[in-house]
Structure 1
Amino acid sequence: MDAEVVLQEEDMEGSWTLLSWLASCLMVFGGALPYVPQYQEIQRSSNSEGFSTRVCLVLLIANILRIFFWIGKQFELTLLLQSVVMIITMFAMLHLCCTVQNTNRVSTKQHRLSDLDFRYFWKWSVFEDYLLFCFGFTVLCAVVTLLLLDSAVFVETLGSLAVMFEAMLGLPQLLQNFHNRSTKGMSVKMVLLWTAGDIFKTTYFVMNESPAQFWVCGLVQILIDVAILLQVLFYSQDTRVKLG
């Protein structure tokens, strides 16, 4: 009888380990999955107007800061890997947007980081300028972090800044949709993927007792996702009424 109980406990422990491993994999790659259909849509239509590159700016800053937060306060390795995957994903989106915009550009005038024109900040024509900006930002963060790494206040502030930027992830898209009075290039399916991903992520943070900054960030993201979903439903209905 005791042997059977031990076997059952081992089976349950094995199942829980597998579930935990799957959840970790989903956390690492899940955040990037919603961008796959958007990447394919931009590639298919050769039109990037429906996607705000400000989303890339917000996510790149948030995840670079999160990596330095991890250096000061080691939380789950899964969340560190998630940041690396998201940074790669955002660079892929930026590269595609630059390629599409350069192909469709009528004017030969290009905007470069070296122009130091704030009006065209994050609207540069060449992908390498985005890489250069992120490299400079990373070096700056590295220097400041090395100088203040022993300060608990600095480390916690760094974490709060990282998740604050991430919490505002959907805000540029929300504002762009409102400004354009359109959600062209977006679909209910895509936004539902975003929302499901943020709900899963927030649940993961709570269950794994991640630093409080993470689950607060998740809750804010879910609220913004719902607002974008309502925009998609409203503007798509409005378009159907006009066509009718």
Structure 2
Amino acid sequence: MEEELLLQDEDIEGSWSLLSWLASCLMVFGGALPYVPQYQEIQRSNNSEGFSTRVCLVLLIANILRIFFWIGKQFELTLLLQSVVMILTMFAMLHLCCSVQNTNRVSTKQHRLSDLDIRYFWKWSAFEDYLLFCFGFTVLCAVITLLLLDSAVFVETLGSLAVMFEAMLGLPQLLQNFQNRSTKGMSVKMVLLWTAGDVFKTTYFVMNESPTQFVICGSVQILIDVAILLQVVFYNQDTRAKLG
């Protein structure tokens, strides 16, 4: 009888370990999955107007800061790997957007980081400029973190800044949709994927007792996702009504 109970306990532990491993894998790659249909849509239509590259700016800054937050306060390795995957995903999106925009560009005028023109910040023509900006930002963060790493206040502030930027992830897209009065290039399916991902992520933070900053971030992201979902439904209905 005792042996049977032990075997049952081992089976439960094994199942829980497998679920935990799958949840970790989903956390690492799940944040990037909603951008796959977006990437495919831009490739198919050869038009990137429906995607705000400011989303890439927000996510790159948030995840670079999160990596330095991890250096000061070692939380789950899963969340560190998630940041690395998200940074690579954002670079892939920026590279595609630059390629599409340069292909469709009517004017030969190029906007470069070296122009130091604030009007065209994050609207550069070359992908290399985005890489250079992120490299400079990373070096700056590294120097400041090295100097203040022993300060608990600095580390917690760094974490709060990281999740604040991440919490604002959908805000550029929300504002762009409102400005254009359109959600062209977006679908209910895609936004539902975003929302489901953020719900799962927030649940993961709560269950794994991640730093409080992460839970707050996830909750704010869910609210913004719902707002974008309402925009997609409303603007699509409005478009159909005009066509009808």
Q: TM-score range by the shorter chain?
A: over 0.9
Kindly state the Cα deviation for residue 28 of structure 1 after the two structures are TM-superposed.
0.1
Alignment deviations for residues 28-62 of structure 1 (CA, whole Å, 9 cap, x no partner): 00000000000000000000000000000000000
5 Å matches for 1:176-187?
A: 176-187=176-187
Alignment deviations for residues 81-107 of structure 1 (CA, whole Å, 9 cap, x no partner): 000000000000000000000000000
Instruction: Tell me, in whole angstroms, the C-alpha distance in 2 between the residues paired with 1:206 and 1:69.
Output: 19
TM-score, with structure 1 as normaliser: 1.00
Kindly state the Cα deviation for residue 243 of structure 1 after the two structures are TM-superposed.
0.2
State the SS of the aligned residue for 2:182: coil
Instruction: Tell me, in whole angstroms, the C-alpha distance in 2 between the residues paired with 1:157 and 1:138.
Output: 17
Alignment deviations for residues 168-227 of structure 1 (CA, whole Å, 9 cap, x no partner): 000000000000000000000000000000000000000000000001000000000000
1:153 is matched with which residue? Answer: 153
Instruction: Tell me, in whole angstroms, the C-alpha distance in 1 between the residues paired with 2:100 and 2:61.
Output: 24
Instruction: Tell me, in whole angstroms, the C-alpha distance in 2 between the residues paired with 1:215 and 1:54.
Output: 23
Instruction: Tell me, in whole angstroms, the C-alpha distance in 2 between the residues paired with 1:73 and 1:132.
Output: 27
Kindly state the Cα deviation for residue 66 of structure 1 after the two structures are TM-superposed.
0.0
1:128 is matched with which residue? Answer: 128
Instruction: Tell me, in whole angstroms, the C-alpha distance in 2 between the residues paired with 1:32 and 1:132.
Output: 22
Instruction: Tell me, in whole angstroms, the C-alpha distance in 2 between the residues paired with 1:194 and 1:181.
Output: 21
Instruction: Tell me, in whole angstroms, the C-alpha distance in 1 between the residues paired with 2:241 and 2:15.
Output: 51
Instruction: Tell me, in whole angstroms, the C-alpha distance in 1 between the residues paired with 2:43 and 2:20.
Output: 35
Kindly state the Cα deviation for residue 69 of structure 1 after the two structures are TM-superposed.
0.1
Instruction: Tell me, in whole angstroms, the C-alpha distance in 1 between the residues paired with 2:19 and 2:221.
Output: 25
Whether 1:174 aligns to 2:153 is no
State the SS of the aligned residue for 1:166: helix
Where structure 1 has 5 or more consecutive residues not aligned to the other structure, the ranges are none
Instruction: Tell me, in whole angstroms, the C-alpha distance in 1 between the residues paired with 2:107 and 2:210.
Output: 49
Stretches of 4+ moved more than 3 A in 1?
Answer: none
Instruction: Tell me, in whole angstroms, the C-alpha distance in 1 between the residues paired with 2:92 and 2:44.
Output: 15
Instruction: Tell me, in whole angstroms, the C-alpha distance in 2 between the residues paired with 1:101 and 1:2.
Output: 68
Whether 1:89 aligns to 2:95 is no
1:211 is matched with which residue? Answer: 211
Kindly state the Cα deviation for residue 233 of structure 1 after the two structures are TM-superposed.
0.1
Kindly state the Cα deviation for residue 229 of structure 1 after the two structures are TM-superposed.
0.1
Kindly state the Cα deviation for residue 159 of structure 1 after the two structures are TM-superposed.
0.1
Q: Aligned residues, how many?
A: 244
State the SS of the aligned residue for 1:39: helix
2:37 is matched with which residue? Answer: 37
Alignment deviations for residues 7-41 of structure 1 (CA, whole Å, 9 cap, x no partner): 00000000000000000000000000000000000
Instruction: Tell me, in whole angstroms, the C-alpha distance in 2 between the residues paired with 1:202 and 1:221.
Output: 9
State the SS of the aligned residue for 1:67: helix
State the SS of the aligned residue for 1:74: coil
Instruction: Tell me, in whole angstroms, the C-alpha distance in 1 between the residues paired with 2:237 and 2:91.
Output: 33
Instruction: Tell me, in whole angstroms, the C-alpha distance in 1 between the residues paired with 2:72 and 2:57.
Output: 23
Instruction: Tell me, in whole angstroms, the C-alpha distance in 1 between the residues paired with 2:94 and 2:122.
Output: 10
Report percent identity of matched pairs.
Answer: 91
Kindly state the Cα deviation for residue 166 of structure 1 after the two structures are TM-superposed.
0.1
State the SS of the aligned residue for 1:32: coil
Kindly state the Cα deviation for residue 67 of structure 1 after the two structures are TM-superposed.
0.0
Instruction: Tell me, in whole angstroms, the C-alpha distance in 2 between the residues paired with 1:215 and 1:50.
Output: 29
Instruction: Tell me, in whole angstroms, the C-alpha distance in 1 between the residues paired with 2:55 and 2:2.
Output: 56
Instruction: Tell me, in whole angstroms, the C-alpha distance in 2 between the residues paired with 1:198 and 1:222.
Output: 6
- Alignment RMSD (CA, Å): 0.1
